[in-house]
Structure 1
Amino acid sequence: MNQSNTIKEIPELERPYEKCERRGAASLSDEELLAVLLRTGTRGENALALARRILYHAGETGILGIHQFSMERLTAIKGIGKVKAIQISCISELAKRLSKASYQEALCFSEPGTIARYYMEDLRHGKQEQMKLLMLNTKSRLIGETDISKGTVNASLITPRELFIEALQKSAVYIIIIHNHPSGDPTPSRDDLLITKRIFDAGSLIGIELLDHIIIGNNCYMSFREEGMLLERI
């Protein structure tokens, strides 16, 4: 297929719109799905060719790379203006929200696996470590969440004081901390162990229990609670 062809010049059986109508969206490739959403290509390049170039831009390995694109990085791609950059950013955010919504009904804060699945798409694509604080009431229902660190999760940079000020303001009884490892390996580092111990000990003193520290990897997770590490006081 000549990538300079317009979509209308592509044989009808190969056009993404017609293929979707005939066989359903599941029959489309990643490139075809993105092309349908982009609607148009650029001068000398149809929507399919543009979609292919976006998906494999700068070494990205396909559709998961969309989560890595900032607005600035998108508009740096030849042929991507503000409108298409906004479209792609919204596609990425919509995918994350759909994934979270699909796990929302099953979310149980006493089961680390459901928490990990719920936050997986939010965190596993990050190129920096990001830590979230989840605050729960007496019935272990979520009453608030907030980001407490972005960048390197370092024991010397995260102070229990700031974390518990937030929890006290929300009248939290329990807390859970959750963060990602950009490497994809959820094995806890020494800093992860130190942070967890400091927060666990501080919570014990003021009556706000740390229920778990969950580390998100690439489609996998590690729970301090499941591993018995909280009971051992780390």
Structure 2
Amino acid sequence: MTETSRDIATELLDAALMHVPFDGWSETAFKAAIADVDVAPALARGLFPRGAIDLAAAFHRRGDDAMVAALAARDLSELRFRDQVALAVRLRLELIEDKEAVRRGVTLFALPMHAPEGAKLIWGTADRIWTGLGDGSRDINWYTKRATLAGVYSSTVLYWLGDDSLDNQATWAFLDRRIDDVMQIEKVKAQVRKAPGVARMMKGAEAVLSRIKPPKPRRDDLPGGWTAPR
């Protein structure tokens, strides 16, 4: 098999996962993966320019891909929307085969220099969930939905990492409580809109906010950009 016909990016990620529990998402793990796969370092660096950081990001996006596929295979027609969201988050965690790799990733992206990358990945997960559930919002709600879900997801991940309950039942209960909290906020917002004297003020504010649109899909066929491999 030639290098051009191999999925070297996937091989490198799989190899790295064998070393991450011991070395974290580090340069040491990256070099060990290169040796295991027996690929030219220059080629590996071309696929993952930042080394282990890009590997960790690819691992996260692999989990997003698996979640989207699992969600698409489910019949959601009988579920309330809040339960669809809960299911998506639960699937995202249940499909993780290496909890320690996630723990090491959380440690990596908690570092100040990598925190923006971590926030971007969490936002990406929230976006994949809402998109997978058919979210059609094209205004400020596009942002608020993802920001809220990103908070729910990140807090649930942290709880899950420390959960030793049977089948992670404590985590799923925690997730349900967080989603219920969000639903309560939405109910309060709806009641405020109906309050005398507030409706007109809210209507004006919403007219301004309605001009805010979600970002246009990024084109990958233009020069000057690069996306880490999945």
Same fold (TM over 0.5): no
Higher helix share: 2
TM-score normalised by length of structure 2: 0.34
TM-score normalised by length of structure 1: 0.34
* Bigger relative CO (Cα 8 Å, ≥ 6 apart): 2
Higher strand share: 1
- Pick the structure with greater CA Rg: 1
